[in-house]
Structure 1
């Protein structure tokens, strides 16, 4: 067996980290040589192209602008709420297809010219590439820019609002630094076939199905349905169902059924509540808590992630809670990003800041008592250190040799990927474009930090960018292969905490630029891979991505200002929202980290002889464990040790610092049914239905969220705000003290009145 593995290595056969054959690299017969080495890619990505199709059209500009505005507004809206719904790109794809087809039918064909650039209002039929670049632009816009966290925190907790110009520069620079990095790294993270970027396969199936391309015309679904009829039936069914957990009975989104055994028991609440506790065996009937990705992401990666969640929140948390380890119960709940004094009362760092928002050390020391984290929140930092170190170590020991060979042969080699060969017909973007763009964004970043009081000096910005460059390659490699990867948020906080102690705003800025450069680079690389699969010219990709970034940033900011002005008491924690919807969990987590690493500094919070000094051992453990697994793989080569990914396991163990451990049980069930049973025993069914069904279910759930936002919850106007009829499944009833108590008290909204300290 060892000889076979050595032979495979010599032949550059790269084994992906999946437990099923959908993600395996295989040897191809001669007649198969002109297709991908990755079976999942070969099943769904056509090897045909029409270079004459136009991508950037008048229809592109209009439709991408319209949907980018909607997407960025909705995503920013969800950032401040408990619900984790997002703006589905599948909705955009469906709606833009309908509108694009209508525009192709009714718009005149005359041309107009702007600054020498001529464009036709209607260049012909609405084509698949034009459709894809609209989706790519919107997906770039439909997010919450990370800089919004800085603007929100300084506004809510420090009562300081950065002016509009400074806010826009901050948003755009943090979003655009990743462009230069993506341009440099695309040769290594896009061109090799092994860099799958799994989520793109769903989009490829969807675009080809809706445009009824040659490869999909002959495919028929159950009862002879076409791909799109099948899509619409399941999409419609999910749309109707989601009104139950999202509106009529939100209890089903946080269904902590075990809590009903003893709804007033403090220990039951802390262990089994999916809303306030560990959510052990909790259920969620809301598809947005499960997601279609559970149906197609690599099985081994999913099992590692869910295994980490179960160990941390279903095993460790109950033990800590029952035994009151590290006085966990005095903080009121097991999972929260807030800081406390040793007696369990809230710690507010604002009380110890100077006028420039730096820490007043004399005042803090005079208080006598020190700030503390809840035990699980502190362990979250330990797990994040494990995840980052293990990612680097795992990629080096298990993938380093073969990836290097793959990169060296990515372009111009006889074994290069068929899709890379097909893309050679289009002119590439010169590296100078990316380098120049990166330099401009870096200069503006330094300027905004100096001018607008973000406490981060120019040299600090250089360090943040250098950190992103060093760590982006291994993280994006793991993400492209497995669908999972750690972030840089904690390591950037730690580095800046040592560099600039006592400066929370500097810490937030450093984290935003260091982390976001990597994160945005990853997003852009994923979109570039979709363009690779769809054969979209690189220059059209650049235009669509940049356009989406600009539009999204503008409307992220407008939405943020509107929501803060309307919901400030709930978001800053001075009042509790009776409905439990506006909690500001995201800003609270961001600000909590800024207090720990910025204002107080890692020297105080994580000193070697302190309560949290163990956190640094995470780096050592994360670096060593993959090496041990690699050594075991040499000793027992028949055991797939490489599928035990310590980085993903640790990511799952520290994945829920905000305290909403929902959807785990349902996700595990869906994952096992699709990836373990259907794929192994009904592979033809799996390959035919999985990706389109995933898109249908995600789209239906997103449609419901959009409908509720616009027409029910007052997203457009307060006049369009309606409450569901009160009943035992959706809200609360008053108790004898005039308080409110939910029927799923361990998982619903309102104020818990039994046993909370």
Structure 2
């Protein structure tokens, strides 16, 4: 769910320079996250009949959120604690495990929403109704009927706890590539501390991004819509039984189906149509293969290559992403392979590093036993070369970082300044009111019934994390100098608000790892002692300073929409992470102990799944930025820094075109989405992209526009069921075949030489 927490939903337009205080989405274009339900001819305009505090809410919020509340409903219960543990543990394990795979479907938050609701109702029927405890510490084992508020709180706790952890990258890197195992206690404390640093940083942006009704947080709104659909289903047994029947049928189907591409019939994972025509022609195979080629006309029937984003991402985002894939895979890669512009011998689609002769670079030789850069070995082996695709991945990564920050500056400056003035005014009135009380819309008035989270809670969280990490780094643990940790905190504080704003209005998360590791490389390149895994450690700290802040704020927005006590939401988020991090470490140990040969390349995984793509990429960046150093890197690749220039120019050019030609809809040409897609695509597994685009066209364009009532009833239910079925299948395969290892027989659908029958590769 880290790389997903995937990631909802639809806006049709970009925000204009200022945001008028109206209730219509047409006046606030970038916030149009969910396309409106088609209007019914002859329906009168009801806005004149609504109270002014309701009209302050965007229409999409009024359609999805209930505007009444009962503050007496119990929320933090024994049932909540029990179900949080039940749903966090498998999610934290699966998400960590999936981070070592090339593709995977995220642990579905929709599954948690639906399953926890039904499990909670079952507990409400079966648990005895009595108080338990000791002395004054007593609680109701079963306080009454299960409520949708309890479902929301379980989901919020699981959404943060049942995820992977950025800290696993540096720990894995050190062990796999540099044979240095981190002490388990240090590892778990480090993983907790970087997460809680991000949670404490949520305090920086929450006054600007949480209470403003015009900032809707797309995934929070979508999940709220699903919560309220569940509540309505409880009151309408016919509708509820229909949706649940579809959910479980789809779940069973996907669970059974995934045994085919994952195990029995891997041919289905990559339908390389061109290879069927000429299975032994190298050129045709390169064009058609999805496992080593560019995936032209390649389709996939493996849900791990498709995922539920085809049913969640707004259609315009899917169009931009597919356009970036076509440009990167179907245009740039053939040019790089068959023109003289790029030296093909340097691993066209590889994340690895190469010598001048094109052989894999012996990076282990560049580091001495004392963890110093080996100048003699570098002089002997020569300059380090990147694969062509890795080079432009890095270029567009730089562009995406600058583009994301500028996009927020251009489109959000008026609104953020208004929020700053509002917060400043609230802090200097006689009553010293909170930011939420400065807004007069219905939702903020309802939330006024609950005490807000004190600022001191965030300060305490930060101080605990700060002391823990300072002690770890000062004692020589986790590979970085302690002073670089302080720099990471400063950069995180600066970037958290603009990037969280971008996510709050678009649901598109900007990855900042490459920039952070480049900055770390500049800081340590003149030090004699520098550990390559330090780049990932630094990147995890600086990255989580906004990744975790963003997720915390998103789920607090769900609490805002669902009328949950803010303090209960805060504590549930901490509780989920206290459970999840130790499970993250257990999953890390299982992967490193059982899949080590695949991850290091000693053995080849026939499905190209246990390849540790992200880990390989992290090691490549570590070599470039820590051992080699940015100065040497940019001397050899002088065009890379121009990615920052492109990232600065593109948003301004698009904004200019949008203002000059508003009907041309240039505001949908989001440069950050395009650049980030270009920076993430790995050509050695290019199957699935065409299937995603076709599926997204069916679900988020055709079905949404022309079959809206059916879409609204079943789209998210099916998305949850398919992701859940995939993860259940992977879990079953793990349980069954780790205890009783079985080598699947080779046959036409599981060819030993090439599962997709592209034999020339």
> Please, which moves more after superposition, 125-134 or 86-95?
86-95
Please name the residue that 1:732 is paired with: 751
Check if 1:532 corresponds to 2:560. Answer: yes
- Taking the TM superposition and a 5 Å limit, the aligned residue runs for 1:295-444 are 295-323=311-339, 325-328=341-344, 330-332=345-347, 334-365=348-379, 367-405=380-418, 411=435, 416-444=440-468
Between the aligned partners of 1:490 and 1:7, the Cα distance in structure 2 is 32
- The 1:342/1:38 distance shift into structure 2, 3 A limit, reads farther
Please name the residue that 1:736 is paired with: none
Deviation at 1:579, TM superposition (A): 5.7
Please name the residue that 2:209 is paired with: 189
> Please, which moves more after superposition, 76-85 or 643-652?
76-85
1:124 to 130, 135, 144: 144
Between the aligned partners of 2:267 and 2:57, the Cα distance in structure 1 is 46
Between the aligned partners of 2:442 and 2:722, the Cα distance in structure 1 is 31
Between the aligned partners of 1:114 and 1:361, the Cα distance in structure 2 is 66
Q: Is the 8 A contact 2:399 2:644 kept in 1?
A: yes
- The 1:63/1:344 distance shift into structure 2, 3 A limit, reads same
Q: 1:87 aligns to what SS in structure 2?
A: coil
Between the aligned partners of 1:272 and 1:27, the Cα distance in structure 2 is 54
2:519 to 480, 495, 499: 495
Please name the residue that 1:135 is paired with: 155
Please name the residue that 1:286 is paired with: 302
- The 1:681/1:91 distance shift into structure 2, 3 A limit, reads closer
Q: Is the 8 A contact 1:570 1:582 kept in 2?
A: yes
- The 1:17/1:38 distance shift into structure 2, 3 A limit, reads closer
Q: 1:619 aligns to what SS in structure 2?
A: helix
Between the aligned partners of 1:133 and 1:10, the Cα distance in structure 2 is 31
Between the aligned partners of 1:254 and 1:97, the Cα distance in structure 2 is 36
Check if 1:638 corresponds to 2:666. Answer: no
Deviation at 1:701, TM superposition (A): 3.2
Deviation at 1:156, TM superposition (A): 0.7
Deviation at 1:211, TM superposition (A): 4.1
Q: Is the 8 A contact 1:352 1:360 kept in 2?
A: yes
Between the aligned partners of 1:620 and 1:202, the Cα distance in structure 2 is 35
- Structure 1, unpaired ranges of 5+: 734-740, 747-751
2:101 to 56, 74, 81: 81
Between the aligned partners of 2:607 and 2:245, the Cα distance in structure 1 is 38
1:304-356 deviation per Cα after TM superposition (whole angstroms, max 9, x unaligned): 2222122111211122122264212x245x32211110111111321121223
Between the aligned partners of 1:414 and 1:161, the Cα distance in structure 2 is 51
- The 1:19/1:151 distance shift into structure 2, 3 A limit, reads closer
Between the aligned partners of 1:27 and 1:459, the Cα distance in structure 2 is 59
Q: Is the 8 A contact 2:291 2:608 kept in 1?
A: no
- The 1:580/1:208 distance shift into structure 2, 3 A limit, reads same
Q: 2:310 aligns to what SS in structure 1?
A: helix
Q: 2:325 aligns to what SS in structure 1?
A: helix
Deviation at 1:376, TM superposition (A): 0.8
Alignment TM-score, normalising by the size of structure 1: 0.88
Between the aligned partners of 1:408 and 1:257, the Cα distance in structure 2 is 59
Between the aligned partners of 2:611 and 2:19, the Cα distance in structure 1 is 53
Check if 1:697 corresponds to 2:697. Answer: no
Between the aligned partners of 2:737 and 2:220, the Cα distance in structure 1 is 32
Please name the residue that 1:31 is paired with: 50
Q: 1:22 aligns to what SS in structure 2?
A: coil
- Taking the TM superposition and a 5 Å limit, the aligned residue runs for 1:354-753 are 354-365=368-379, 367-405=380-418, 411=435, 416-501=440-525, 503-577=531-605, 580-607=608-635, 610=636, 612-657=637-682, 659-710=684-735, 712-714=736-738, 718-719=739-740, 721-722=741-742, 724=744, 726-729=746-749, 731-733=750-752, 741-746=753-758
Between the aligned partners of 1:437 and 1:27, the Cα distance in structure 2 is 46
Question: What CA RMSD, in Å, does the superposition of the two structures yield over aligned residues?
Answer: 3.0
1:51 to 59, 71, 85: 71
> Please, which moves more after superposition, 443-452 or 408-417?
408-417
Deviation at 1:683, TM superposition (A): 4.0
1:349-370 deviation per Cα after TM superposition (whole angstroms, max 9, x unaligned): 21121223232234322x1511
Q: 1:504 aligns to what SS in structure 2?
A: coil
- The 1:503/1:679 distance shift into structure 2, 3 A limit, reads same
Deviation at 1:526, TM superposition (A): 1.8
Between the aligned partners of 2:294 and 2:730, the Cα distance in structure 1 is 26
Please name the residue that 1:738 is paired with: none
Q: 1:638 aligns to what SS in structure 2?
A: helix
Q: Is the 8 A contact 1:196 1:481 kept in 2?
A: yes
- The 1:82/1:707 distance shift into structure 2, 3 A limit, reads same
1:645-694 deviation per Cα after TM superposition (whole angstroms, max 9, x unaligned): 11111111122247323321122122223333333444444444433343
- The 1:457/1:347 distance shift into structure 2, 3 A limit, reads same
Between the aligned partners of 1:409 and 1:292, the Cα distance in structure 2 is 39
Alignment TM-score, normalising by the size of structure 2: 0.88
Q: 2:179 aligns to what SS in structure 1?
A: coil
Q: 1:606 aligns to what SS in structure 2?
A: helix
Check if 1:249 corresponds to 2:265. Answer: yes
Between the aligned partners of 1:408 and 1:57, the Cα distance in structure 2 is 39
Between the aligned partners of 2:687 and 2:261, the Cα distance in structure 1 is 13
- Structure 2, unpaired ranges of 5+: 1-15, 39-44, 424-434
Deviation at 1:531, TM superposition (A): 1.7
Deviation at 1:144, TM superposition (A): 1.8
Deviation at 1:506, TM superposition (A): 2.5
Q: Is the 8 A contact 1:35 1:47 kept in 2?
A: no
Deviation at 1:136, TM superposition (A): 1.9
Deviation at 1:457, TM superposition (A): 2.3
Q: Is the 8 A contact 2:121 2:145 kept in 1?
A: yes
- Taking the TM superposition and a 5 Å limit, the aligned residue runs for 1:138-287 are 138-212=158-232, 217=236, 220=239, 226-287=242-303
